Structure 1
């Protein structure tokens, strides 16, 4: 309530340009929308880590879109939750709508939507788990029964991923997640969708999927707001120089 009253007195600034027109001014919102695809697309990192699930994304993880995600997570701009969840929702909808098992799960026992767990270090620094409300809000648009569940837990401390290459990230995360014992019944035999904000090498999604499959998940899909373009290919195919991966409209 205090925050709402404060916003009436002191208008929020734009998270990117800091002008008094927040959470995103029209110019910065337009810059973000240039990073979004006309419709969600399948993203496959190159090289693709073993066990990487099919992942749908709404846009390219660069420029203004990446800056908005960073502001939301690390600069306490939680007022960006609404636009970010709105950009995540199409990818989540495409991931479930394109898969027969997911559609059946939504009509039956329910689809299990799994946010990628943040590291304990990041949780202490931020004071919360910023991905969770985005996933919860985006899942509300799914047609059917969807359970957003924090079923994954870290098994050990991992290194900061930001300075690691693809091989180092995969090694850093190998065996780093497990399904919580009390949630194994939820996962066993279920169709699960792992959700992250942005993907770069796919190592996080691959490890999360491995943990879910080890716990008996029948199928694992993935969704994210955006993926790094320079590391993307589709169906293992590339077009052009190694750093110029292409998207296939699906």
Structure 2
């Protein structure tokens, strides 16, 4: 009985299958680790969805949303694999570094001795209750850890009204999110006069980033840019 109880605890603490392929009895198999390293070695780039919605912020992504990276993000968000935060956080950190290195507003703020306000994309409270955690907040904290010029601020909240974004097209996503975000108390206190960097896991249609940018600008942010782990490859039409 004691052994069975110990095994049950170990199963919760130590994932028994690969988060990328589920084929190996390890947290992340060698093949998936190699593909993840390849994604880390690529150069982060500016990305824009197609079609690009009006008001979309300057956004940098580390890689495309496919293969092992897509599988890891799904496992991290929806399968409780919080152990993946360090690996995915490194990808997001690389995209963030590319953004900061090339964006004039970020460079000007840092040159003036100002900190950049890093804002995790908010989740609906119903999603947070269902998961028992906030994956994007975890990812953000992992990405900016031990980087004093970057200060995490949970400046945004999103209403539970509306549908889940999964499976919605670009126009439906935009309608679903319009007016759904607002500043939190911390956001109202800290956003004004700051350059804000929104961090998210994936950019798909860009609707969430458009709404986040509009909300932060309405609160007095001087500029709003963004970085994500991955970007979905899409075709216009």
Map of 2:71 onto structure 1: 67
Task: Choose which of 190, 193, 196 in structure 1 pairs with 2:197.
Answer: 193
Provide the C-alpha distance between the structure 1 equivalents of 2:162 and 2:36, rounded to a whole number of angstroms.
31
Distance (whole Å) between structure 1 residues aligned to residue 211 and residue 17 of structure 2: 37
Would the alpha carbon gap of residues 141 and 56 (structure 1) be closer, same or farther in structure 2, given more than 3 Å must change?
A: farther
Question: Normalised by the size of structure 1, how large is the TM-score?
Answer: 0.83
2:121 is the alignment partner of 1:116: yes
Q: Call closer, same or farther: CA 1:68–1:116 in 2, change over 3 Å.
A: same
Are 1:56 and 1:92, in contact at CA under 8 Å, matched by a contact in 2?
yes
Give how far 1:21 is off. 2.2
State the distance in 1 between where 2:127 and 2:19 align: 21
Distance 2:183 2:15 in 1: 42
Match of 2:140 in 1: 135
C-alpha displacement of 1:185? 3.0
| Whole-angstrom CA distance in 1 between matches of 2:91 and 2:228 | 9
Normalised TM-score (structure 2): 0.87
Map 1:3-14 onto structure 2 (within 5 A).
6=10, 12-14=16-18
* Unaligned stretches of 5+ residues in structure 2: 1-5
How far apart, in 2, do the equivalents of 1:35 and 1:168 lie?
31
Q: How many Å apart are 1:181 and its aligned residue?
A: 3.7
Distance 1:158 1:29 in 2: 37
Q: Greater shift after overlay, 10-19 or 148-157? A: 10-19
1:91-129, Cα deviation, whole Å (9 max, x unpaired): 111111212321333352310000000011110110010
1:150 is aligned to 154
Mapped to 1, the partners of 2:96 and 2:19 lie a distance apart of: 25
Q: Please identify, of 70-79 and 103-112, the stretch whose mean Cα deviation from structure 2 is larger.
A: 103-112
Whole-Å separation in 1 of the counterparts to 2:54 and 2:33 = 36
Q: 1:140 Cα deviation (Å)?
A: 2.7
Counterpart secondary structure, 1:222: strand
RMSD value, Cα: 2.4
Q: Is the 8 A contact 2:154 2:186 kept in 1?
A: no
Q: How does 1:204-219 map to 2 (within 5 A)?
A: 204-219=208-223
Aligned equivalent of 2:207: 203
The alpha-carbon deviation at position 35 of structure 1 amounts to: 5.2
1:39 pairs with one of 43, 50, 59: 43
Question: Which residue in 1 is equivalent to 2:52?
Answer: 48
1:63-102 equivalences in 2 (<5 Å): 63-102=67-106
Cα distance change, pair 79–218 in 1 and its aligned pair in 2 (3 A): same
The ranges of structure 1 where at least 4 consecutive aligned residues each deviate by more than 6 angstroms after the TM superposition are none
Q: Do residues 58 (structure 1) and 62 (structure 2) align?
A: yes
